[in-house]
Structure 1
Amino acid sequence: MDNNAEIVSLIRKKMDRTISDQELYLLQKWVAEDPLHAELLRKVEDDEAVLADIKSWLTLRSGRTKESWMQAFEEKTMAKIYGSDYHATSVDRPPLRRYLPYISYAAVFLSVLGITLFLYLRQQQAEQPTVISDLAPGRNKARITLGDGRIIELREDQDGIVLGEQLQYEDGTLIHSLEGDKIVDATISTPRGGEYQITLSDGTKVWLNAASKLKYPTSFKDDMRIVELEGEAYFEVATMTRLGKKIPFRVKTAKQEVDVLGTQFNLTAYADDENDTRTTLVEGSVLLHADGASLPLAPGEQGFIDEDGLNKKKVDVNPYIAWKDNGFVFEELELREALKMLSRWYDFDFQIEPTVKPTYLYASISRGKSLKEVLAIIESSGIRFRLERFGERNKLTIF
């Protein structure tokens, strides 16, 4: 990547947390090309270094006319390139070509410094929130990241995708041709406010909830079918045999593994909620593994990890799988837990004021309703709220 403007744009997006997976892939390629690139990115991501450069910039600007500041800025820039040698006489100064490899680096650095200054000053200004009245519900929205970094944005007017000899939508529309028998890993991910369905190459169906990722092989060839999950998904695992032997299916998460043969279960393992990894079994049987321990589950049981390690309890499975059928079911659910579910589907941040008393919700709500309709239902519990937009984010405050 030779375009400095493009590099600066990618770095700005990374700093501002608006970079896409494809753009991040391009930036990482650029970083890998040269140790100087890695050093530049490290520096602009170092808050103390950034603030030091901003202070230096402001000091340089203070009390100077535009012309004198430009001259001082030029001297400071060249000093960054030449180092201490810059203040030598023109006769003794090292030839410029010796530093040519660093000039592009310095140009990008100065551009990023200007952007950093802008972002820093913008963050120092108190953002004025805008009151908003409603948020739309989530929808079918996802992307697939192939093993080589290519990204496929999936259509919102389709319900799901099917893996086989080709990658296609459920209605048969071709998305991408798979290369023969070559097994490669891919990842399907949903944003906040998104969901999607996927049928794996063995016939296993997966419903992927909002803000979730599923890493999977394009086909299963070994004696174990393995996928990796971050977030929440409902699995309807197909039975697969080879030479008369059933091939197990395994789901890996950050804290546990789930082994199954043919079964239906819901698995929750969000990275931003490390203390809430739950496996809820609907039918069949599964075996949980975590920290060297194993625990079998029967239908109607939920496995979880607490301070004592793997544990389980009897539950009504409906509240835990209602999302798959486009619903929320709250049965004596603590307010904060309900807001976690709602915030991922309607894409908002939330805050509960310390004065709010412990509140438990009882409700059955369609996920197709707007947030305003949902809040009107739970408002009967005596909850008061304020919905605002801060910059690019929506925030719900409970008070």
Structure 2
Amino acid sequence: MDESLAKELFQKYKDGTLTEEEMALLESWYIAHGKSSNSTITTNEIEKNLDQVWESLPVNKDEKASNNSTVKPLLKWLAVAASIAIVSTIGVNFFFKQKNEPNIKTVAIVHDAAPGDNRAKLTLANGQNIMLHEAGNGKLAQQGQTAVIKTKQGEIVYEFDMQEAGSRAQTVTYNTISTPKAGQYQVKLPDGTRVWLNAASSIHFPTVFPTTERVVEIAGEAYFEVAKVTKNSKRVPFKVKAGNQVVEVLGTRFNVNSYADEAIIQTTLVEGSIKLGLAGKENQGVLLRPGEQALLTRDLRKSADIAAGSFKVKQVDTKTVIAWKEGYFRFNNVGLPELMRQLSRWYDMEVVYEGPIKEYEFVGQIERNTNLSKVLQILELGDVHFRIENKKIVVTN
């Protein structure tokens, strides 16, 4: 797109006639060319126009109150324009090209898919299953000395029951909370630790933690806000087992992505400090600082750059990693297969590729409460195409 068209689109915004596709076009141009040394449109001119756009939007009020820093316009404009902000970094010219075509392709839809919601299954120590999204509020079960309660907010809370503790000997029982595809859930563990489970995930934990250490096991993806617990003035460690990885915590916030269909286990520290090790070799692990992510391969064939049995540590944007917890997908140079795996879990859909997988990278944000068809329509602006057939997304060439 040339700069004369960019100036024309800026003017169309001011006139109130800018379409969603034109906003995507302008934003893509800005990212790819707007701040290049060859641009005759000055940086101040660009920023002034983009700031005018953002300042005029009602959603800016809440964000401005909590954070005065400038948010990348990509994540501003499209999130407001269509509740979706996804731009293919290789599709900058595609928007302009498609803008001049009389017939814009749309997703071939036989069946649409609604987004996921709060749903999970609680498996008690005796094997009984309770569908948490169907259960009423209040006490759901008694597990030894611990009462299982569903709050009005839909969270599951484990509370120590003093009456039960005085009437029977202490016993250790284990519960499991698991989410299906298209599901997520929150739980407050017996020690006060809060856990958010993403789709197709689970956590296995004791209903009463021992005084020496707290250990839970997860599969899939979970975000933790670990409560600090002390015994005789010493902190009681908190450990998370994910595959053959062990995360040791004293009190912190972190995210673990350990889906079986991902080649790498990703552990991201948001706040505090954690130590990562391998099962049976915890003393040979690595320490993470806030903003760091540790990668541990589970499939060497797909992760040749990471040595077996060792961690690779890198800096990441933690807001991108935990965006799912806040109700968003957020993509930062994410390839098409990884993006489609995320959509597959959240919409409970199978993904099939017709022909070779093209090398796409996506940047942007999408609300998780958006129907699948709308998501795919926006993705198609980046020159990737889809069909929806029953419970299947077909990626076409």
Write the distance in 1 (CA, Å) between the matches of 2:365 and 2:139. 29
Q: Are 2:270 and 1:282 equivalent residues in the alignment?
A: yes
Write the distance in 2 (CA, Å) between the matches of 1:210 and 1:337. 15
Change (3 A) 1:318 1:169: same
SS at match of 1:198: strand
* Cα contact 1:135–1:370 (8 A) shared by 2: yes
Partner of 1:143: 121
Partner of 1:171: 152
* Cα contact 2:148–2:157 (8 A) shared by 1: yes
Partner of 1:321: 322
* Cα contact 1:246–1:261 (8 A) shared by 2: yes
SS at match of 1:342: helix
Partner of 1:182: 171
Amino acid paired to 1:143: K
* Cα contact 1:276–1:304 (8 A) shared by 2: yes
Report the structure number with the largest CA radius of gyration. 1
* Cα contact 1:159–1:196 (8 A) shared by 2: no
* Cα contact 2:157–2:187 (8 A) shared by 1: no
Q: How many percent identity over aligned positions?
A: 40
Displacement of 1:146 after TM fit? 1.2
State how 1:1-399 maps to structure 2 within 5 Å.
132-155=110-133, 165-171=146-152, 180=165, 181-273=170-262, 275-290=263-278, 292=281, 293-306=284-297, 307-308=306-307, 309-389=310-390, 393-399=391-397
Q: How many equivalent pairs are there?
A: 266
Amino acid paired to 1:150: Q
Change (3 A) 1:172 1:381: closer
Amino acid paired to 2:277: H
Unpaired stretches in structure 1, ≥5 consecutive residues? 1-129
Amino acid paired to 1:137: P
Write the distance in 1 (CA, Å) between the matches of 2:199 and 2:340. 14
Write the distance in 1 (CA, Å) between the matches of 2:288 and 2:197. 22
Change (3 A) 1:246 1:170: same
* Cα contact 1:193–1:344 (8 A) shared by 2: yes
SS at match of 2:384: coil
Write the distance in 2 (CA, Å) between the matches of 1:212 and 1:340. 14
Write the distance in 2 (CA, Å) between the matches of 1:248 and 1:133. 48
Displacement of 1:271 after TM fit? 2.1
Partner of 1:90: none
Change (3 A) 1:264 1:160: farther
Displacement of 1:330 after TM fit? 0.7
SS at match of 2:366: strand
Change (3 A) 1:159 1:326: farther
Write the distance in 2 (CA, Å) between the matches of 1:301 and 1:172. 32
Unpaired stretches in structure 2, ≥5 consecutive residues? 1-107, 298-305
Write the distance in 2 (CA, Å) between the matches of 1:132 and 1:240. 53
SS at match of 1:363: strand
Relative contact order, CA 8 A, sep 6+: which one is greater?
2
* Cα contact 1:239–1:261 (8 A) shared by 2: yes
SS at match of 2:343: helix
Write the distance in 1 (CA, Å) between the matches of 2:210 and 2:275. 22
Displacement of 1:394 after TM fit? 3.0
Partner of 1:124: none
Q: TM-score scaled by structure 2? A: 0.62
Displacement of 1:380 after TM fit? 1.3
Write the distance in 1 (CA, Å) between the matches of 2:138 and 2:250. 23
SS at match of 2:244: coil
Change (3 A) 1:165 1:329: same
Write the distance in 1 (CA, Å) between the matches of 2:261 and 2:287. 26
* Cα contact 1:348–1:396 (8 A) shared by 2: no
* Cα contact 2:146–2:158 (8 A) shared by 1: no
Displacement of 1:172 after TM fit? 8.9
Deviations 1:21-66 (Å, cap 9, x if unpaired)? xxxxxxxxxxxxxxxxxxxxxxxxxxxxxxxxxxxxxxxxxxxxxx
Amino acid paired to 1:214: I
Change (3 A) 1:272 1:348: same
Amino acid paired to 2:178: S
Partner of 2:90: none
* Cα contact 2:158–2:190 (8 A) shared by 1: no
* Cα contact 2:244–2:278 (8 A) shared by 1: yes
Displacement of 1:219 after TM fit? 1.4
